[in-house]
Chain A
């Protein structure tokens, strides 16, 4: 299996909105897997609703800085009309919005050599401008060379892990979309996000150039 890492730095602020928060806007601590696949799909220039990337890769996440949160009062525009005609004005609603301040994440992707090479080149020369969270929240991406990766067992690691672990932030993160006609549903994964300590305990991980990473 091949894999590589890329570092995502959100230039200023971003929100990874929880899909079940609409009377306020709460944010996940890390970008959901669906969001990361969205960035990759965008770089590859795939069309809307093209979910092929879901089948191509496995993903690992490592937060790189202490993630600060803050809250603002945001004016959220309400959608009007059917979408058939151009709509000029929209009513709005004030709402509390949680946002993350300049978060940085190392994202690890793994899969077949050909697919990984494609994604690597796409992220270096994306087809469209790349953003994460909101469509006006641009990102700075730094890619690292693909390497061959292998399974390993580690007793100590620092990355997002599957399941519930002590001294971590526990979140249920959207993992993939399931499409049935015009309906979408979400599959979630419960993850543990490390705060400042390494995980102690045996886990099946992958070795990316000496870094032990759990892949989802």
Chain B
């Protein structure tokens, strides 16, 4: 028999085809299987042999769906289904997860039935792939295709019934056995990147390409970075360790993945930059959230350059080292909730190339300020230089002027943050000039020697602004970053030399 599966141009199904190809290939069984850019072909005269292969890969890879948990009291080892796996589960038997999906509970019988159905020709059209088939093995359900649920209003086509009134004819049945088998086995994909927040949601990341060959290569490359046996996260802290990262959200997870990929993986040409991000909620109703994220070449370039030249990992050496310090000296020094939110937002701003939002995250807030070590500050400066200044064509000397004025803003904002907030909120270059004028006025009131500020930097900044009027927003954002930075240093009692 010959099974041909053309590319779906569907995130879930294309990853599922790639996964099926890899599972069969990795099983090292002798079978004629080929995946080119647009099609997977399986050729065999031995249907029983193919059934055996499919059945054994399902049994051998079942561990991808579960984690093993040792009960602290009894010491008993129990299986737990991973939180994001959308396959229904029955009551555990002797601590073993019982899936309510025949292909996982009785793989031998189930694969045999599916292959029998695939072999037959029919006239029904599959709602997912558009090909004709004989009879479905199962209806279209969330377990085999996560984007569906049982909702009659959205699953039918209006038509006549008895010539009198309109009824719905659901199209759940129009789901071919090939799509079922491919889709349901995608849960065995050990290269789905995931991060689970207990009691809240799980986030899944699936790479997207318009051809299978690049998808196979990219997933093959990053496979070693993941540890499938952890419940809440599968990005390894280090390649040779089982411990995984505890990133605070979706963007930080992706950023964390990229820095490891770029530093630890000897990649060839293919670097995926298009991702599908699926959020699977906890609870019984699994209405998922989905978004596509297409990273730009320029952001990937910044990450590469930072790692290549300076060995700086944007997440580990910068964002993960950023904290929100509370002003109250008697209480806990760090607000961890806010720190996690800021880290996530910084990761998002960087990945979507939004420097404005990035700079705003560093502003002091009510009750505290964002702080980091001097080493992290140096890393932040390197990031800003590569991410913004290089592109703008502003020299490192000009950056000195921005830093100088940032220092002035920090000093004059010591007891009154309104100027710093006003600077951040400027919407036109006229507003910006007005704020700079206010800064110059405030300069008169401070002891220049004691405050260690350089008043000439203000003249230099004005000149820089005149020469680069079109880029005034970038200069404003840079000034916000440096003002916040010096404010944080100043309020900690000054920089240690």
Contacts and interface: CB of A to CB of B under 8 A. Distances in A.
B289 interface: yes
A185 interface: yes
A190 interface: yes
A65 interface: no
Contacts of A178: 125
Contacts of A48: 158, 166
A143 B174 CA distance: 38
A93 B140 contact: no
A184 interface: yes
Interface string A163-202: 0100000111000011010111111101000000000000
Contact of A94 (B145, B147, B171, B287): B287
Nearest to B38: A164
A72 B201 CA distance: 18
B285 A185 contact: no
A20 B9 contact: no
B287 A24 contact: yes
Contact of B148 (A22, A180, A188): A22
Chain B contact-residue range equals 35 or more
Contacts of A21: 147-148
B9 A26 contact: no
Contacts of B286: 23
Contacts of B10: 172
Contacts of B9: 164, 170-172, 190
A77 interface: yes
A93 B151 CA distance: 9
B155 interface: yes
A78 B168 CA distance: 13
A186 B130 contact: yes
A23 B125 contact: no
A78 B38 CA distance: 38
A187 B127 CA distance: 8
Contacts, number: 106
A21 B13 CA distance: 13
Interface string B4-42: 000111100000000000000000000000000010000
A33 to B, nearest CB: 13
Interface in B162-177: 165-169, 171, 174
Contact of B290 (A24, A49, A82): A24
A82 B167 contact: yes
A7 interface: no
A50 to B, nearest CB: 12
B153 A23 contact: no
A82 B162 CA distance: 13
Contact of A76 (B125, B128, B154): B154
Given A71-B291, A172-B9, A20 B127 contact: yes
B140 A96 contact: no
Contacts of A88: none
Given A19-B127, A20-B147, A184-B171, A78 B152 contact: yes
Contacts of B154: 17, 22, 25, 76
Given A23-B146, A23-B147, A190-B9, A185 B125 contact: yes
B419 interface: no
B148 A23 contact: yes
B147 A24 contact: yes
Contacts of A188: 130
A210 interface: no
Most B CB contacts (10 A, CB to CB) among A20, A71, A184 go to A20
Interface in B435-492: none
B210 A78 contact: no
B125 A186 contact: yes
A54 to B, nearest CB: 14
A85 to B, nearest CB: 10
B155 A22 contact: yes
Given A26-B290, A164-B210, A182 B159 contact: yes
A95 B287 contact: yes
A52 interface: no
A79 interface: yes
A18 B145 CA distance: 13
B382 interface: no
B110 interface: no
A20 B124 CA distance: 16
A76 B152 CA distance: 11
Given A79-B152, A83-B166, A183-B169, A23 B288 contact: yes
Given A78-B153, A82-B167, A171-B9, A22 B147 contact: yes
Contacts of A164: 7, 9, 38, 210-211
Interface in A90-111: 93-96, 98
Nearest to A166: B210
A168 to B, nearest CB: 8
B160 A182 contact: yes
A98 B286 CA distance: 17
Contacts of B289: 24, 71, 96
A26 B210 contact: no
Nearest to B153: A79
Contact of A185 (B148, B167, B168, B174): B174
Contacts of B159: 49, 182, 184
Given A95-B287, A185-B127, A20 B166 contact: no
A76 B155 CA distance: 13
Contacts of A26: 147, 290
21 contacts: A19-B171, A22-B147, A22-B150, A22-B154, A23-B149, A23-B286, A24-B147, A24-B290, A48-B158, A76-B151, A79-B153, A83-B161, A83-B165, A164-B210, A172-B8, A172-B9, A172-B10, A177-B157, A184-B169, A185-B171, A186-B125
Given A49-B159, A96-B287, A170-B9, 7 more contacts: A22-B148, A22-B150, A79-B152, A184-B157, A184-B159, A184-B171, A185-B127
Interface of A: 17-26, 48-49, 71, 76-79, 82-84, 93-96, 98, 164, 170-172, 177-178, 180, 182-188, 190
CB-based closest 5 A-B pairs = A185-B125, A23-B149, A188-B130, A79-B153, A184-B157
